[in-house]
């Protein structure tokens, strides 16, 4: 036997669709890694933004004083 059948039908040949599968796989890996790193490596994540928004809302409703708001803001920064 010669050519691509030299090692049997279980060789690496998969056609053009196999290339698309691999491109899709690596695209998912890269996007997943980016989302994982960008979500966990930011110093101020979504929790910071939400906590500050809650403090602003409480200050606006008069539940906390300006001094308490400034203290909370300083802790979050």
- 53 with 64, same domain? yes
Q: Give yes or no for residue 17 having a pLDDT over 70.
A: yes
35 and 58 co-located in one domain? no
Q: Do 39 and 49 sit in the same domain of this protein?
A: no
**Binning pLDDT at 50, 70 and 90, where does residue 9 land?**
low
- Separation in Å, CA 33 to CA 19, 29, 62: 21, 6, 43
CA dist 45 and 47 (Å) reads 5
The pLDDT score that the predictor gives to residue 50 is 84
**Same-domain pairing of 50 and 73:** yes
Q: What is the mean pLDDT of residues 51-59?
A: 93
Residue 77: per-residue pLDDT:
78
Residue 6, domain member (yes or no): no
29 lies in some domain: yes
- For the entire predicted model, the pTM comes to 0.41
pLDDT (0 to 100) of residue 28: 96
The radius of gyration computed from the CA coordinates of the chain, to the nearest angstrom, equals 27
Q: Tell me which residue of 17, 16, 18, 15 sits closest to 4, measured CA to CA.
A: 15
Domain of 20 in residue numbering reads as 14-43
Shared domain for 52 and 30, answered yes or no, is no
pLDDT at residue 5 in the model = 53
Based on the fold, state whether residues 34 and 51 are members of the same structural domain: no
Question: Within a domain: residue 32?
Answer: yes
């Amino acid at each position: 036997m010669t050519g691509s059948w030299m090692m049997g039908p279980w060789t690496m040949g998969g056609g053009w669709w196999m290339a698309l599968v691999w491109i899709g796989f690596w695209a998912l890996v890269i996007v997943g890694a980016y989302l994982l790193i960008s979500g966990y490596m930011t110093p101020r994540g979504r929790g910071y933004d939400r906590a500050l928004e809650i403090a602003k809302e409480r200050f606006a409703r008069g539940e906390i004083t300006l001094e308490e708001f400034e203290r909370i803001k300083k802790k979050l920064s």
